[in-house]
Structure 1
Amino acid sequence: MSDHKQATSRAGADPEQQRAVSPAVDVFEDAAGITLLADMPGVPREQLELNIEGDALLIEGGVQQPTPEGLEAVYAEVRVPRYRRSFTLSRELDATRIDASLKDGVLTVRIPKQAHAQPRRIAVKAA
């Protein structure tokens, strides 16, 4: 699996896409697959998207800026980030069985290995 950081400024891109931020991600591997832990503070589950395109996993999420009811910002210095990160998945991983959860601003993504790529114990019989 390799990491592809998205370019944060492109000519003609809308302003929201220009403010894309790469979330910090920890990657752990065990015999059965990999686990990604991505820090995405302020991103509600409704604003989080995980997509598989070919062999790429794309993680995107937008932070919701709380605005007091009945008020509208006329000037704001706070920039609300949009998180975006892309990973190329190994063929050993089973993209059809990805499991994801979001808790306390941390996105946990579990990607199991294909059955043929997982180690297995072979029983030896007495002859």
Structure 2
Amino acid sequence: MNDIQKTNDTARTPAHTEDRRYAESSLTPPVDVIEDSSGITLYADLPGVPRDKLHLNVEADSLTIEGEIDLTIPEGLQTSHTEVGLGRFHRVFTLSKELDTEKISAELAQGVLKLRIPKAEHAQPRRINVQVS
């Protein structure tokens, strides 16, 4: 069973001005989602995003990943070709009720965000002992 779904990012109405800025013109970071018996792990590629410009938010059943990089050109230099003109990343996922959003852990290393979201205790597999009478 897949415990996370990608939502249509453009269909969401952001709550405040800063969120609207991300949704209007941003890159969609590629994300790998790996599920195991105890939860899911997301790996999001966010090259150049520093920790202080990374924003993670869980509201109800939605997980939002937002990040910003500084694409300033050093003084005295001029670009002759630019492939990445946007400095913002934005991605929204809908989370399953089986996931425990209170226990999310996040790590950012070498441009990759790793989010671990465990399954809620009621959704964890458990062994049932059979008694002989």
For this structure pair, what is the TM-score category when the shorter chain's length is used for normalisation? 0.7 to 0.9
- Do structure 1's residue 3 and structure 2's residue 9 form an aligned pair? no
Deviates more, 1:57-66 or 1:112-121: 57-66
Distance (Å, rounded) in 1 between the aligned partners of 2:63 and 2:76: 36
Partner of 1:121: 127
> What is the TM-score of this pair, normalised by structure 2?
0.77
Q: Which among 44, 50, 66 is matched to residue 44 of structure 1?
A: 50
Deviations 1:32-53, CA, capped at 9 Å, x for gaps: 0001110111111111010011
Q: How many residues align?
A: 121
Taking the aligned partners of 2:79 and 2:24, their CA distance within structure 1 comes to 19
Q: CA deviation at 1:80?
A: 3.4
| 1:38-72 deviation per Cα after TM superposition (whole angstroms, max 9, x unaligned) | 0111111111010011110000000122554xx38
Distance 1:18 1:40 in 2: 18
Question: Is the helix fraction higher in 1 or 2?
Answer: 2
2:66 to 60, 83, 86: 60
Structure 1's unaligned 5+ residue stretches are 8-12
Name structure 2 gaps, 5 residues minimum.
11-19
Let me know the Cα RMSD of the aligned residues.
2.7
1:103-122 matched pairs, under 5 angstroms: 103-122=109-128
- Equivalents in 2 of 1:34, 1:108: separation in Å? 10
In structure 2, distance between residues paired with 1:46 and 1:21 = 18
Paired-residue identity, %: 45
Q: Output the CA distance in 1 between the equivalents of 2:76 and 2:98.
A: 50
User: Which residues of 2 match residues 8-27 of structure 1 at below 5 A?
Assistant: 14=21, 17-27=23-33
Which of 81, 91, 102 in structure 2 is aligned with 1:96?
102
Please, what TM-score do these two structures have when normalized by structure 1? 0.81
